[in-house]
């Protein structure tokens, strides 16, 4: 809304005054998302060795099954590979949620989800004694979450500082600047150049 004025002399057949406003409307950009997923996959879970092994095994089995299929055209082969990759990601990785912080470990997220469930149980419980017991469990679980996040944060910062040192050695000043902003708290978790390019290609 850019400007608003009241026209007191206008006869609007009402006891209210006529109001005139200038509005600036920003139209939403149209993006062609035909045959593209509307979500991102939770690739962060691949940091868990068990999850990574399951993902690799599932991909290996699915791709080996494609190798025994009859010979197809290049386009058909491409669609088969893409569908196989999407199906594996949906089953093993799942969708990425917005609240998912990159530096938190799988164990920490498990504790956070348990704490969230306890909170729901507390809100739904009417019995006073049971509510007090649940609240005691909640605060104990909250303490465990805080203890679990500390090493996650230290590990995240340690990995970033090592990457910054590598970037400085390669004279990759753009990446070094991104990491510096992240460590100073002025930026979100920076994406690597390859990851950013993949996302751009994904949205085209």
| DSSP line for 75-117 | HHHHHHHHHHHHHHIIIII-BPPTT--TTS-HHHHHHHHHHHH
pLDDT digits (tens, 9 = 90+) for 56-106: 888 888 888 777 777 777 788 888 888 888 888 888 887 776 555 667 888
State how far the Cα of 98 lies from the Cα of 108, in Å rounded to an integer: 16
| Mean pLDDT of all residues in 24-49 | 71
pLDDT digits (tens, 9 = 90+) for 136-193: 999 999 999 999 999 988 888 888 888 888 888 888 888 888 888 887 776 554 444 4
Q: Kindly give, in sequence order, each residue whose CB lies less than 8 Å from that of residue 55, ignoring residues fewer than 6 positions away.
A: 46, 88, 92, 93
Q: For the whole model, what pTM was predicted?
A: 0.43
Q: Judge whether 69 and 15 are in contact, CB under 8 Å.
A: no
State how far the Cα of 89 lies from the Cα of 51, in Å rounded to an integer: 11
Q: Where are the domains of the chain?
A: 43-93, 106-203
pLDDT on residue 144: 92
Q: Judge whether 86 and 37 are in contact, CB under 8 Å.
A: yes
State how far the Cα of 82 lies from the Cα of 74, in Å rounded to an integer: 12
pLDDT on residue 203: 45
* Highest mean pLDDT pick, 28-37, 85-94, 108-117, 184-193: 108-117
Q: Judge whether 148 and 111 are in contact, CB under 8 Å.
A: yes
């Amino acid at each position: 809304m850019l400007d608003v004025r009241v026209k007191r002399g206008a006869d609007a057949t009402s006891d209210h005054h006529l109001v005139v406003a200038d509005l600036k409307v920003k139209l939403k950009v149209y993006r062609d998302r035909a045959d593209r997923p509307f979500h991102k996959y939770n690739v962060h879970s691949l940091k868990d060795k068990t999850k990574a092994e399951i993902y690799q095994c599932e991909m290996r089995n699915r791709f080996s099954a494609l190798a025994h299929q009859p010979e197809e055209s290049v386009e058909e082969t491409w669609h088969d590979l893409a569908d196989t990759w999407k199906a594996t990601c949906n089953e093993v990785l799942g969708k990425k949620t917005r609240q998912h912080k990159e530096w938190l470990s799988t164990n920490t997220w498990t504790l956070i989800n348990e704490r969230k469930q306890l909170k729901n149980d507390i809100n739904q419980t009417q019995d006073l004694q049971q509510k007090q017991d649940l609240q005691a469990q909640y605060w104990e679980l909250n303490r465990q979450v805080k203890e679990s996040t500390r090493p996650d944060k230290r590990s995240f910062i340690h990995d970033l500082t090592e990457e910054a040192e590598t970037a400085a050695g390669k004279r990759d000043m753009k990446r070094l600047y991104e990491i510096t902003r992240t460590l100073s708290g002025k930026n979100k978790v920076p994406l690597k150049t390859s990851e950013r390019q993949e996302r751009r290609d994904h949205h085209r």
